[in-house]
Amino acid sequence: MSKLTTFKELKKIPCESSWFEPYRVAPGVTAIYEPHHFEEVISYLIEGDTSALLLDSGMGLGNIKALVEFLTDKPVTLVNSHSHFDHVGDNWRFPETHLLNLPECVAHLAAGTAQQADDANRAPEALWFDGEPWFDLKTWHTKPCKVVPIEEGHVFDLGGRKLRVIATPGHSRDSLMLADDENRLLFTGDTIYPGPIYAHIEGVEMVPVYYSTVIKLAAQFADYTLFCSHNNPVWEGSALKEIEDAFGKVLAGEVVGSSDPKTEGDTVSYQFGGFGIVLSRQAADLYGAKYRRHYHVVGAIIEHDGKILCMQRPKGKFPSTDLKWEFPGGKIEAGETGPQALMRELREEMDFEVNVREEDYFATVHHLYPEFELTMDTYLCHVANPRFTRKEHVDHCWLPPADMPSLDWAAADFPIVEQVIKSAQGDCPHVSFGGDKR
Ligand SMILES: [Fe+2]
């Protein structure tokens, strides 16, 4: 695996900012890291003898211009690696910025946006910040700015250092990289970074374009040092070959990804060492990429008088779980908590009214079936009234924990059976059996 340098291994430049952390990553190159928002965006200040270039202006939550003026006395030219909100937030503080010449993208960036990003980026948990924020994520948005379009091949001459613009469409249509050929440095933006590489944002037709970009990069820059715009800053250029290889395997159907339950299965992820590739499910289907559906479900360990309710599945579409025994439950729908989903499923499948609370959480199991992938959160529920109507299952029984292994359990449920037995024997002190009946 290509060597990755993390911020922990680098020297932080002392500064007064409570939002940014600047690190020297190469002679004349400073990574400006934003560690307090989950995007973990990185902008780069690249200095020549006479002037400097700032690649991206960050989230726009701190004042990057003030930091840049602290870091260098040289005149600074701003360039955007692409126009996504997390790289252009402080553009408005500069006289102008530069973006690849795609008229629609240039116009969009120049106009700003009334509403910032998506809800995940504006949610309180998006912030990893102990201090009192001076900004409001709810009203946060990209302000208008002046944009100068540039073409591929354009060179920024900083005096003793030249940066060449390379168009790298894929992650976005307007993605560019800057190459410092003399020092063999490549500033990659979001096209290449050590994390989930997003090939799902711009529509299915952009996937082969992204792959072509990666092939071109791997052929030209594998012996460069990469400076990436998220997560960790410095990556060996040989990572380009690894990503090219991975992309090829995904599109040839040689690796199996899993659909993401957080996007209702609309995206499919392929994991490799140190990075991933994300496709839309539509693109995966179109290009023959293989994946398993990933279901996030809840299961109820229902206890009555020291016995546990075991349910037998009907014959269905997945041979791996046909007629196997399981804990009742089902899929978590969008917006539901685990207990809400479980109470709804028990009501729908069994006319069973069970009160489930967050504190009833028992354990989570993850299992890869041949046909699909399952993550199951289980809850331990004591019931006083064990009556229900069996609507979907073919059989059921109440068993003392020690007798449960006599049934032919679904593979995902069996580790939970083992934990239930341990709990009943008192080996798991956080769970008690025969507790309050309700
Ligand atoms: Fe981006």
Taken in order of first residue, the domains within the chain and their CATH numbers are: 4-237 (3.60.15.10), 294-424 (3.90.79.10)
Closest CA to 119 of 332, 334, 356: 334
Q: For residue 251, how far is its CA from the centre of ligand 1 (angstroms)?
A: 22
**Buried b / exposed e along 284-301 (16+ C-beta atoms within 10 A):** beebebebbbbbbbbbbb
Q: For residue 66, how far is its CA from the centre of ligand 1 (angstroms)?
A: 24
Q: Are 253 and 269 in contact (CB under 8 A)?
A: no
Q: For residue 81, how far is its CA from the centre of ligand 1 (angstroms)?
A: 9
Q: For residue 201, how far is its CA from the centre of ligand 1 (angstroms)?
A: 9
What is the residue-wise DSSP string for 11-64? PBPP-S-SS-EEEEEETTEEEEE-TTBTT-BEEEEEE-SS-EEEE--BSSSS-H
In angstroms, the CA 62 to CA 18 distance is 8
What is the average per-residue pLDDT within 298-306? Answer: 96
Q: For residue 37, how far is its CA from the centre of ligand 1 (angstroms)?
A: 15
Q: For residue 397, how far is its CA from the centre of ligand 1 (angstroms)?
A: 52
What is the average per-residue pLDDT within 206-210? Answer: 97
Strands 267-272 and 162-167, how do they pair? unpaired
In angstroms, the CA 116 to CA 302 distance is 44
Q: For residue 199, how far is its CA from the centre of ligand 1 (angstroms)?
A: 10
pLDDT for the residue numbered 123 = 87
**Does the pLDDT value for residue 350 go beyond 60?**
yes
Q: For residue 11, how far is its CA from the centre of ligand 1 (angstroms)?
A: 26
Q: What is the three-class DSSP state of 318?
A: coil
Closest CA to 117 of 137, 134, 102, 99: 137
Q: For residue 56, how far is its CA from the centre of ligand 1 (angstroms)?
A: 11
pLDDT band at 427 (very low <50, low <70, confident <90, very high): low
Q: For residue 190, how far is its CA from the centre of ligand 1 (angstroms)?
A: 5
Q: Full-prediction pTM beyond 0.85?
A: no
What is the average per-residue pLDDT within 94-103? Answer: 98
What is the average per-residue pLDDT within 7-11? Answer: 93
In angstroms, the CA 51 to CA 160 distance is 10
Q: What residues are paired with 291 via a beta bridge? A: 257
What is the average per-residue pLDDT within 309-322? Answer: 92
What is the average per-residue pLDDT within 167-193? Answer: 98
CB neighbour list of residue 400: distance below 8 Å, 6 or more residues apart: 306, 307, 308, 424
In angstroms, the CA 40 to CA 59 distance is 9
Q: What residues are paired with 23 via a beta bridge? A: 12, 31
> Which amino acid would we find at residue 189?
G
pLDDT per residue over 234-243, tens digit each? 999 999 999 9
**Does the pLDDT value for residue 296 go beyond 70?**
yes
What is the average per-residue pLDDT within 334-362? Answer: 95
pLDDT for the residue numbered 117 = 63
Q: For residue 324, how far is its CA from the centre of ligand 1 (angstroms)?
A: 44
pLDDT for the residue numbered 437 = 28
pLDDT band at 334 (very low <50, low <70, confident <90, very high): confident
pLDDT per residue over 384-398, tens digit each? 999 999 999 999 999
In angstroms, the CA 68 to CA 407 distance is 66
Q: For residue 84, how far is its CA from the centre of ligand 1 (angstroms)?
A: 5
Q: Are 437 and 348 in contact (CB under 8 A)?
A: no
Dihedrals φ, ψ of 38, to 5°? Answer: -60, -20
pLDDT band at 429 (very low <50, low <70, confident <90, very high): very low
**Does the pLDDT value for residue 432 go beyond 80?**
no
**Does the pLDDT value for residue 434 go beyond 90?**
no
The alpha carbon of 105 is separated from its chain's Cα centroid by a whole number of angstroms, namely 24
H/E element, 396: strand 395-399
Q: For residue 38, how far is its CA from the centre of ligand 1 (angstroms)?
A: 13
**Does the pLDDT value for residue 405 go beyond 90?**
yes
Q: For residue 171, how far is its CA from the centre of ligand 1 (angstroms)?
A: 7
Place of tokens 């769970």: 431
In angstroms, the CA 131 to CA 217 distance is 41
Q: For residue 76, how far is its CA from the centre of ligand 1 (angstroms)?
A: 23
Q: For residue 390, how far is its CA from the centre of ligand 1 (angstroms)?
A: 49
- Maximal CA-CA distance, the chain: 81
Q: What is the three-class DSSP state of 81?
A: coil
Q: For residue 55, how far is its CA from the centre of ligand 1 (angstroms)?
A: 13
- When the pLDDT of each residue in the chain is averaged and rounded to a whole number, the result is 93
pLDDT for the residue numbered 71 = 98
Q: For residue 34, how far is its CA from the centre of ligand 1 (angstroms)?
A: 15
Q: What residues are paired with 45 via a beta bridge? A: 30, 54
CB neighbour list of residue 124: distance below 8 Å, 6 or more residues apart: 137
Q: For residue 16, how far is its CA from the centre of ligand 1 (angstroms)?
A: 28
**Does the pLDDT value for residue 438 go beyond 80?**
no
Q: For residue 275, how far is its CA from the centre of ligand 1 (angstroms)?
A: 15
pLDDT for the residue numbered 261 = 75
What is the average per-residue pLDDT within 333-362? Answer: 95
Q: For residue 321, how far is its CA from the centre of ligand 1 (angstroms)?
A: 40
pLDDT per residue over 108-156, tens digit each? 999 999 876 678 888 888 999 988 889 988 889 999 999 999 999 999 9
What is the average per-residue pLDDT within 59-69? Answer: 97
Q: For residue 71, how far is its CA from the centre of ligand 1 (angstroms)?
A: 25
Q: For residue 214, how far is its CA from the centre of ligand 1 (angstroms)?
A: 16
Q: What is the three-class DSSP state of 373?
A: strand
